[in-house]
Amino acid sequence: MRGVFTTVRFLRNEIFKNVTAAAYEGWSKERIEHIPFEFIEEGQPKYRDSVEREREIIRARIKLAMNMELGTRFDAEFIEEDLETLRTKSVSRDLVTVIPQACEACPEKSFFVTNACHGCLAHPCVEVCPVKAVSMQNGQSFIDQEKCIKCGKCYDVCPYGSIVKNERPCVAACGVNAFIKDDQNRAVIVSEKCVGCGMCMVSCPFGAIMDKSEIVQVVEALKGPEDVCAIIAPAFVGQFGDKVSPEQVVEGLLKLGFDDVREVAYGADITAVDEARHFLKHVPLDQPFLATSCCPAWLKVAQKELGDKAYCVSDSSSPMVETANFLRRSFPTTKIVMIGPCSAKKLEAAYMDAHGNVDYVLTFEEVNAMFIARGIDLHTLTPSRKLDHASVDGRGFAVSGGVLSAVENVIRRLDPDRVVKVERAENLHNCRKMVLLAKAGKKDGYLLEGMGCPGGCVGGAGTIVHQNKAAANVSTFARSSEKASALKTYDEFKQHD
């Protein structure tokens, strides 16, 4: 539902706006606890079956937006964690959470015949059913739900598409089988399996799934004595309005209180060169293939599925980490905040970044709510600086195929005669298929790119516009760079280093 301003998105934005105001203005516990009463007034419920249930859900959203643990308390005094301690708290591993009160306990996978059935003479749906659950009744097909084993063969062969599949959107979107159900048939996420991609959150039409936010922690850092630098992912172009330039976004971040803004695409250039050199040196001599490592959700899937071939996954740092590492060497006391399209980056920063140089992570959706809360109209801003850190290659990382393109470009410059076989996959279902083929020896000599989200980073859970539109914006911005290759950035990086 990216690119569509739904009621779910409206409620999320309102929560983020209120939490931003609470952080900047130092709201008391009591004032924060009054937010649900401002949202949901007495009288008829707006969104659910009761006013109190609506308020319970708002309370849960506030907890998660303030990086609190969800817990079980949703009465009027629902803030149990100490606000002072909360100001520097990192996200926990159960980053993406189902709000039980908001979950509608959707039916699990099932197949139904609609009234579009023509009752055809061939009735292939009847013929292919292995358990005789499909029969002809009153001139139309009928599926006996007690016999049906959910194989979907009838669905696949219907020439009219008259059979529909009904499936929980969150379960269908999850590429790592991280969902189970509780005793009330509501969805539950197994945090040990979850990789934080957030695709379930995007897919849930009831807004019952939400990730924890670090808005409070970032605002506290902005109010503190240390400098705070925003590093912004290349997918940001066009996320904050069609007529908002990249430089106006930078200016808006400076008005929020950031002291500097850098491109994560700079780190992408470094990653591209590192992976190109690794490929040239080791594939196929020391390892059969090389899988890129930029997407943390894909990285976890690849490492788990490859088993004893996990060494074939690149050990290069992600663009976020490379950018942060560079800044940390130059500015050791500066706080570093990643701004990007991805909820999984929150887990990467907290648990996968070996150096711990990324302090906090915000999504585009969260930052947009911060702009609105602070009354910052990006269209009206006059830019005071230009983004010129990265190359065409690095900026292209945001779009599916962009990593492959960047690494290939570097390989061609380093070894023009080298032929590189490439393959890419989007969303974790397809990523898993690709990596299993590689494990079976069917991708030897390949450079593999995996992206956990549709379209690449531009389709991340924290984006605002549709991935196709975002991809076009990113490509235009990438071509505006004066650096044609990641090698140009890499050379400057080494001179500085």
Structure tokens at 319: 């663009």
Q: Count CB neighbours of 124 within 10 A.
A: 16
Q: What is the 3-state secondary structure (H, E, C) of the chain?
A: CCCCCCHHHHHHHHHHHHHHHHHHHCCCHHHHHCHHHHHCCCCCCCCCCCHHHHHHHHHHHHHHHCCCCCCCCCCCCCCCCCHHHHCCCCCCCCCEEECHHHCCCCCCCEEEECCCCCCCCCCHHHHHCCCCCEEEECCEEEECCCCCCCCCHHHHHCCCCCEEEECCHHHHHCCCCCEEECCCCCEEECCCCCCCCCHHHHHCCCCCEEECCCHHHHHHHHHCCCCEEEEECHHHCCCCCCCCCHHHHHHHHHHHCCCEEEEHHHHHHHHHHHHHHHHHHHCCCCCCCEECCCCHHHHHHHHHHHHHHHHHECCCCCHHHHHHHHHHHHCCCCEEEEEECCCHHHHHHHHHCCCCCCCEEEEHHHHHHHHHHCCCCHHHCCCCCCCCCCCHHHHHHHCCCHHHHHHHHHHHHHCCCCCCEEEEEECHHHHHHHHHHHHCCCCCCEEEEEECCCCCHHHCCCCCCCHHHHHHHHHHHHHCCCCCCHHHHHHHHHHHC
The answer on 330 and 252 residing in a single domain is yes
Task: Give residue-wise pLDDT tens across range 329-344.
Answer: 999 999 999 999 999 9
| Tokens linked to 350 | 């907290």
Tell me how far apart the alpha carbons of residues 46 and 381 are, in angstroms, rounded to a whole number. Answer: 37
Q: With cut-offs at 50, 70 and 90, classify the pLDDT of residue 430.
A: very high
203, part of any domain: yes
Q: d(Cα 178, Cα 187) in Å, to the nearest integer?
A: 10
Q: Assess whether 336 and 440 both reside in one domain.
A: yes
Query: pLDDT band at residue 494, thresholds of 50, 70 and 90?
Result: low
Report if residue 1 sits inside a domain.
Answer: no
Question: Do 134 and 179 belong together in one domain?
Answer: no
Measured over the CA atoms of residue 293, residue 297, residue 299 and residue 301, the dihedral's sign is negative
Instruction: Return the closest-CA partner of residue 17 out of 253, 182, 213.
Output: 213
Q: Does one domain contain both 159 and 57?
A: no
Q: What is the mean pLDDT of residues 94-101?
A: 96
In a domain, 51, yes or no: yes
Q: Is residue 158 part of a domain?
A: yes
Same domain, 279 and 159: no
Reading the block at residue 414, the tokens are 């380093």
| Residue range(s) defining the domain that contains residue 488 | 218-496
Considering the domain boundaries, does residue 43 fall inside one? Answer: yes
Domain annotation covers residue 355: yes
Q: What is the pLDDT of residues 431-473, one digit of tens each?
A: 999 999 999 999 999 999 999 999 999 999 999 999 999 999 9
Give me the pLDDT at residue 485, please: 87
Where among 148, 182, 212 does a domain terminate? Answer: 212
Using CB atoms within 10 A of its CB, is residue 430 exposed (0-12), middle (13-18) or buried (19+)? middle
Distance, CA of 41 to CA of 322 (rounded, Å):
48
In a domain, 226, yes or no: yes
Using the 3D structure, point to which of 182, 212, 242 is the last residue of a domain: 212
Residue 2 forms part of a structural domain: no
* CATH number of the domain to which 176 belongs: 3.30.70.20
432 and 297 in a single domain? The answer is yes
The pLDDT value recorded for residue 112 is 94
List pLDDT tens digits, range 26-84: 999 999 999 999 989 888 888 898 999 999 999 999 999 999 999 888 889 999 999 99
What are the residues whose beta carbons fall under 8 Å from the beta carbon of 121, sequence distance 6 or more? Answer: none
64 and 134 in one domain?
no
User: What is the share, in percent, of the chain residues with pLDDT greater than 90?
Assistant: 90
**Domain containing residue 280: CATH number:** 3.40.950.10
Same domain, 256 and 350: yes
Counting the structural domains of the chain, the total is 3
One domain for residues 409 and 452:
yes
Residue 493: pLDDT band with limits 50, 70, 90: low
Average pLDDT of span 317-338: 96
Residue 497 to residue 494: CA distance in whole angstroms? 5
User: Same domain, yes or no, for 248 and 373?
Assistant: yes
Residues 229 and 337 in one domain: yes
In this structure, are residues 262 and 368 in contact, taking their beta carbons and an 8 Å threshold? no
Question: Given pLDDT bands bounded at 50, 70 and 90, which one contains residue 192?
Answer: very high
Both 80 and 125 in one domain: the answer is no
pLDDT tens-digit map of 277-308: 999 999 999 999 999 999 999 999 999 999 99
